[in-house]
Amino acid sequence: MPSGERYVLEPHAVQLLEEYGIPYPAHGFARDAESAARVAQELGFPVVLKVVSPDVLHKTDAGGVLAGLEDTASVRQGFSAVADRVSSLVPGARIEGLLVCKQAPEGLEVIAGGLEDQTFGPAVMFGLGGIFAEVIKDVSFRIAPLEPKDAEEMIREIQGYPLLSGSRGQDPLDIQALIELLLSVSRLVTEHLEIRELDLNPVRVYEDGLLALDARMVVNINTRGEQS
């Protein structure tokens, strides 16, 4: 990561998301296998385990995500398995613990986020997830702050909009929830100018509501190591 930037651990990033009304699955932080099992029992199964480490920016690539755990025994085993995989793939990684999250229902996946444009300042991004974002580059951008009409235009102008609005007999998904999500991201990046990059990927969208399943946040820091 470039000098002067810092990766915000996901539990801390999620706290900020929730302050801005961005939905995230029920979750808890665990430093060991037994506490992970207790958190999972409280949340209800199935659950997902995600590594929490300042040295792991892309958790999936580092083997730091394990989904579909159905009981406390599998959570205990999964805790050790995730820690071992991350340590093997990212030697020297500092593992602070694991985030235990209630597994979300299946749904259409989109991405949303914010970034600092060198010329115009904070900007907001939206697009479909998976191959649509990675290969087709089906994304839209706007300079923040957004008005509701800006957010709606961002959603409607992507090529994959028919997947959201309902096509071939499919029920439409919650466009209003997506508009509110983009407006929340806009407020977040304009009120916290230290945010260099915010990546909510994936966000799973339903006929009623949505859930941001992963949050990656990078902030600028000043010379004293504090957020600017």
The DSSP result for 155-166, as a single string, is: HHTSTTHHHHH-
Question: Any idea what the CATH number is for the domain that residue 96 is in?
Answer: 3.30.1490.20
pTM for the structure as a whole = 0.92
Q: Confirm if 11 and 28 have CB atoms less than 8 A apart.
A: no
**Structural domain that includes position 78:** 26-102
Q: Are residues 40 and 95 in the same domain?
A: yes
Q: What is the pLDDT of residue 23?
A: 98
Q: Is residue 155 part of a domain?
A: yes
Same domain, 32 and 55: yes
pLDDT at residue 131 above 80?
Answer: no
Mean predicted confidence (pLDDT) in 161-186: 93
Tell whether 98 and 114 lie within a shared domain.
Answer: no
**51/142 same-domain check:** no
To the nearest whole number, what is the mean pLDDT of the chain?
Answer: 93
Neighbours of 152 (CB within 10 A): 16
For the residues 193-202, what does the mean pLDDT come to? 95
First-to-last alpha carbon distance for the chain, in angstroms, is 17
Percent of the chain exceeding pLDDT 70 equals 93
Structural domain total, the chain: 2
User: Running DSSP on this structure, what letter comes out for residue 221?
Assistant: B
Q: In the prediction, which pLDDT does 30 show?
A: 98
Top-confidence residue, 228 or 202: 202
How many CA within 13 A on the CB side of residue 85? 19
CATH (domain of 200): 3.30.470.20
Q: Which one-letter amino acid corresponds to residue 178?
A: L
Q: What's residue 132's pLDDT?
A: 67
Which pLDDT score is estimated for 223?
Answer: 32
Residues 84 and 116 in one domain: no
Average pLDDT, integer, range 72-77:
98
Q: Please report the pLDDT score of residue 118 as a whole number.
A: 85
* Residue 19 located in a structural domain: no
Q: Which of 10-19, 28-37, 104-113, 217-226 bottoms out in mean pLDDT, i.e. has the lowest?
A: 217-226
